[in-house]
């Protein structure tokens, strides 16, 4: 978690709360925008005057929605993971495994963020086919997704080191 | 390159079993491959973003949104009441009604868990009230919920279609007959079990009761008609049909039944984004890892090796069933699907098996994993709803796996069960 214990660093806690609220707002806006965009495309096509930019805009929105959903799910720690074997480890083994996992998460997030910056640089002067925007907008959310994953992983490393007992497994799997 | 990829896949599988979030383990495996192969690591985030740059995939969040809207609009009571008025007077009537409700609801939502959570509470409450043992009620609802991702719309089918480059419309049509067969086979099982367990029948209220229940639920029952009718008449693409169905769900919730209010919307939208994030980040990293696998020539090497080792298409399908069922015991369906598609689908095509039929078989097998331990997410949901232990429902579900396995064998042996309808409607 990005959130430190209540009595320490309250400013970080406030910032994390504000970030979560902002991310939730962006998620709502993206879902609504996606629905409106696809509906507009269907409507104009059925009227015989299709808008050429709705498909491409919905694909851009899809990238942003997927990444913001990834960020929110990371903050809530509800990504898919198989805890079956980890939960059967002794307490110390469980803690050591969790530290290794969260360190790997930090590394993954940091690498994705870092390499996405390069992608933005290489694509900023390329324009989308039907929209007057740069193709870099496709890769900007990757920096955010990677950065939040890295921060989340790092804070969970700290929290795991501080805590004597690990929290119960949480998860949300509703895709099957 | 192939040896490097195999070593990385070994470490990656170990990381998954250790408990690492699947998306991060897949992403790190892809990063490790490009770094050790001397390729530019920017390829990984690029392939991840490009995996989302697909218009058919836009259907996925919209189907999730539609399911959430219909769930929040509380349409399930009306659907269960309609189903009970139709088949409730048979012996074990509430069990039959539960299965029929799930079949109808399957035409509105695209996942087993959404089906279980949507109709499960109403069905289990009715069955418990009628004297069913709670674990039996929960097991019946859990087994019926597996119809959710087989009858269209289906979230796993959207993901399979995009990942395996197969028509989503064709997959949706291919799911209709197996989905109906699943319902009928479960109803046959109820007919066998009901007299032995003394399951009661609900008094028949007459045709006027059926008509009343139909009138109350007709707007809800129109959802699959609009969705599938629009798609297969060529009026909408699957993505557009998903958007239209969302608008219709909003219309039902706000204007017809007035069960939705504006203050419900933020929670619905956030839930949609969360679920989209959980699913799509897996699709993103699978896009990167799939690219790594293809340039390391794993699918190109594995497919001929599998063909050479197995020879017969039917044996390949039976072996695939066993492997997929075993994998489904330990891994979430979507993740397993994304991992196995690049290996198994090329092999299936090499054997001359239609990727649509193979997709149905793959999804069916992996969905069965949701109703048996140790992962069994649908069992967890139903155990919580019915207030029984996971062990109780795990034992109670066993007889209900039999009819589903029979349907699985049937769609494996007879391709026509999956391919006849797409051929008929889409003029193959």
**Residue whose pair of structure tokens reads 């949507």 in the numeric block:** B118
**What's the whole-number average pLDDT of chain B?**
89
Q: Go through B324-353 and write b for each residue having 16 or more CB atoms within 10 A of its CB, e for each that does not.
A: bbebbbebbbbbbbbbbbbebbbbbebbeb
The C-alpha atoms of residue B347 and residue B344 are separated, in whole angstroms, by: 5
Mean pLDDT is lowest, of B115-124, B127-136, B284-293, B381-390, for B115-124
Does B17 sit within 8 Å of A81, measured CB to CB? no
Residues of chain B found within 8 Å of residue A98, distances taken between Cβ atoms: 19
Residues of chain A found within 8 Å of residue B53, distances taken between Cβ atoms: 59, 62-63, 138
pLDDT tops 60 at residue A4: no
At residue B36 the predicted structure's pLDDT band, cuts being 50, 70 and 90, is: very high
HEC per residue, B2-61: HHHHHHHHHHHHHHHHHCCCHHHHHHHHHHHHHHHCCCCCCHHHHHHHHHHCCCHHHHHH
Does A84 sit within 8 Å of B374, measured CB to CB? yes
For residue range B138-182, list pLDDT tens digits in order. 999 999 999 989 999 898 999 999 999 999 999 999 999 999 999
At residue B126 the predicted structure's pLDDT band, cuts being 50, 70 and 90, is: confident
At residue A173 the predicted structure's pLDDT band, cuts being 50, 70 and 90, is: very low
Does A175 sit within 8 Å of B61, measured CB to CB? no
Q: What is the percent of chain B where pLDDT is above 70?
A: 99
The C-alpha atoms of residue B143 and residue B99 are separated, in whole angstroms, by: 8
Nearest residue on chain A to B26, judged by CA atoms?
A108
d(CA A148, nearest CA chain B) in Å: 13
Residues of chain A found within 8 Å of residue B112, distances taken between Cβ atoms: 176
Residues of chain A found within 8 Å of residue B278, distances taken between Cβ atoms: 69-70, 73, 78-80, 172-175
Does B333 sit within 8 Å of A69, measured CB to CB? no
Name the burial class of residue B193, with classes exposed (0-12), middle (13-18) and buried (19+) by CB atoms within 10 angstroms of its CB. middle
The C-alpha atoms of residue B258 and residue B320 are separated, in whole angstroms, by: 47
For residue range B168-223, list pLDDT tens digits in order. 999 999 999 999 999 999 999 999 999 988 888 878 888 999 999 999 899 989 98
Q: According to the model, what pLDDT value does residue B380 have?
A: 82
ipTM: 0.89
Can you give the pTM of this predicted structure?
A: 0.87
HEC per residue, chain B: CHHHHHHHHHHHHHHHHHCCCHHHHHHHHHHHHHHHCCCCCCHHHHHHHHHHCCCHHHHHHHHHHHHHHHHHCCCHHHHHHHHHHHHCCCCCHHHHHHHHHHHHHHCCCCCHHHHHHHHHHHHHHHHHHCCCCHHHHHHHHHHHHCCCCCCCCCHHHHHHHHHHCCCHHHHHHHHHHHHHHHHHHHHHHHHHHHHHHCCCCCCCCCHHHHHHHHHHHHHHHHHHHHHHHHHHCCCCCHHHHHHHHHHHHHHHHHHHCCCCCHHHHHHHHHHHHHHHHHHHHHHHHHHHHHHHHHHCCHHHHHHHHHHHHHCCHHHHHHHHHHHHHHHHHHCCHHHHHHHHHHHHHHHHHHCCCCHHHHHHHHHHHHHHHHHCCCCCHHHHHHHHHHCCCHHHHHHHCHHHHHHHHHHHHHHHHCCHHHHHHHHHHHCC
pLDDT tops 60 at residue B262: yes
Q: According to the model, what pLDDT value does residue B414 have?
A: 95
Of A32, A70, A138, the CB nearest to B269: A32
d(CA B331, nearest CA chain A) in Å: 7
Angle at B248 between CA B247 and CA B251, to 5 degrees: 90
Look at B140 and B370; give whichever has higher pLDDT: B140
Q: According to the model, what pLDDT value does residue A138 have?
A: 95
What number is the average pLDDT over the span A131-152? 95
Nearest residue on chain B to A67, judged by CA atoms?
B277
d(CA B279, nearest CA chain A) in Å: 7
Name the burial class of residue A165, with classes exposed (0-12), middle (13-18) and buried (19+) by CB atoms within 10 angstroms of its CB. exposed
At residue A167 the predicted structure's pLDDT band, cuts being 50, 70 and 90, is: low
Contact predicate A69/A174, CB 8 Å = no
What number is the average pLDDT over the span B77-84? 89
pLDDT tops 70 at residue B257: yes
Contact predicate A69/B278, CB 8 Å = yes
At residue A6 the predicted structure's pLDDT band, cuts being 50, 70 and 90, is: low
**Residue whose pair of structure tokens reads 């269960």 in the numeric block:** B80
The C-alpha atoms of residue A40 and residue A132 are separated, in whole angstroms, by: 19
pLDDT tops 50 at residue A176: no
d(CA A120, nearest CA chain B) in Å: 10
Does B62 sit within 8 Å of A38, measured CB to CB? yes
For residue range B396-416, list pLDDT tens digits in order. 999 999 999 999 999 999 999
- Structure tokens of B99? 């299965």
Nearest residue on chain A to B246, judged by CA atoms?
A35
Nearest residue on chain B to A139, judged by CA atoms?
B49
User: Which of B41, B55, B277 to mutate: most A Cβ within 10 Å?
Assistant: B277
Between the alpha carbon of residue B36 and those of residues B33, B43, B59, B310, B382, the distances in Å are 5, 13, 36, 33, 46
Q: According to the model, what pLDDT value does residue A166 have?
A: 55
Of B27, B273, B334, the CB nearest to A112: B27
Of B20, B54, B55, the CB nearest to A101: B20
Q: What is the percent of chain B where pLDDT is above 90?
A: 53
Nearest residue on chain A to B44, judged by CA atoms?
A112
Does A39 sit within 8 Å of B269, measured CB to CB? no
Of B265, B277, B370, the CB nearest to A72: B277
Q: According to the model, what pLDDT value does residue A91 have?
A: 87
User: Which of A69, A86, A175 to mutate: most B Cβ within 10 Å?
Assistant: A175
Q: According to the model, what pLDDT value does residue B99 have?
A: 94
**Upstream peptide bond of A151 is cis (omega within 30 degrees of 0):** no
Q: Residue A144's closest CA among A45, A46, A66?
A: A66
């Amino acid at each position: 978690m990005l959130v430190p214990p209540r009595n320490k660093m309250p400013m970080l806690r406030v910032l994390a709360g504000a970030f979560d609220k902002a991310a939730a707002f962006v998620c709502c806006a993206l879902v609504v925008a996606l629905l409106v965009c696809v509906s507009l495309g269907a409507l104009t096509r059925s009227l015989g005057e299709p808008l050429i930019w709705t498909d491409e805009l919905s694909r851009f929105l899809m990238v942003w929605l997927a990444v913001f959903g990834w960020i929110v799910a990371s903050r809530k720690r509800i990504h898919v993971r198989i805890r079956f074997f980890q939960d059967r480890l002794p307490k110390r083994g469980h803690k050591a495994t969790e530290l290794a996992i969260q360190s790997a998460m930090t590394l993954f997030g940091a690498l994705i963020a870092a390499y996405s910056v390069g992608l933005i640089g290489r694509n900023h002067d390329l324009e989308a086919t039907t929209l007057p925007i740069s193709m870099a907008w496709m890769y900007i959310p990757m920096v955010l997704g990677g950065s939040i994953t890295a921060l989340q992983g790092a804070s969970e490393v700290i929290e795991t080191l501080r805590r004597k007992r690990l929290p119960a497994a949480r998860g949300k799997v509703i895709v099957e | 390159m192939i040896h490097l990829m195999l070593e990385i896949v070994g470490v990656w599988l170990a990381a998954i079993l250790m408990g690492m979030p699947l998306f991060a383990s897949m992403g790190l495996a892809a990063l490790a491959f490009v770094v050790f192969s001397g390729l530019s690591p920017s390829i990984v985030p690029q392939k991840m973003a490009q995996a989302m740059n697909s218009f058919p995939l836009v259907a996925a969040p919209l189907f999730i949104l539609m399911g959430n809207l219909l769930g929040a609009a509380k349409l399930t009571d009306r659907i269960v009441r309609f189903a009970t008025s139709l088949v409730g007077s048979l012996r074990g009537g509430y069990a039959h009604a539960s299965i029929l409700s799930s079949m109808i609801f399957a035409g509105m939502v695209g996942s087993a868990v959404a089906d279980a959570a949507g109709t499960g509470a109403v069905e289990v409450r009715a069955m418990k009230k009628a004297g069913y043992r709670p674990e039996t009620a929960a097991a019946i609802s859990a087994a019926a919920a597996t119809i959710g991702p087989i009858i269209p719309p289906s979230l796993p089918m959207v993901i399979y279609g995009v990942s395996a480059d197969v028509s989503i419309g064709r997959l949706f049509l291919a799911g209709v007959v197996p989905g109906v067969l699943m319902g009928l086979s479960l109803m046959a099982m109820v007919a066998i079990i009901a007299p032995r367990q003394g399951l009661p029948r609900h008094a028949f209220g007459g045709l006027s009761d059926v008509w009343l229940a139909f009138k109350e639920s007709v707007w809800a029952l129109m959802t699959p008609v609009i969705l599938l009718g629009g798609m297969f008449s060529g009026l909408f693409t699957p993505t557009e049909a998903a958007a239209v169905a969302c608008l219709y769900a909003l219309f039902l919730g706000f204007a017809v039944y007035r069960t939705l209010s504006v203050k419900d919307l933020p929670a619905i939208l956030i839930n949609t984004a969360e679920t989209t994030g959980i699913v799509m980040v897996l699709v993103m990293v699978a896009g990167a890892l799939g690219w790594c696998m293809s340039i390391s020539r794993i699918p190109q090497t594995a497919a001929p090796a599998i063909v050479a080792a197995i020879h017969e298409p039917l044996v390949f399908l039976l072996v695939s069933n066993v492997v997929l069922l075993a994998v489904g015991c330990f891994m979430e369906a979507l993740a397993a699907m994304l991992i196995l598609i690049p290996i198994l689908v090329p092999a299936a095509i090499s054997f001359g098996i239609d990727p649509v039929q193979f997709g149905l078989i793959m999804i069916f097998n992996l969905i069965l994993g949701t109703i048996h331990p140790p992962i069994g997410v649908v069992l967890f949901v139903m155990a919580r709803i019915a207030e029984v232990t996971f062990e109780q429902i795990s034992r109670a579900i066993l007889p209900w796996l039999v009819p589903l396995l029979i349907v699985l064998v049937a769609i494996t042996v007879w391709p026509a069960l999956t391919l006849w309808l797409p051929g008929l409607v889409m003029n193959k």
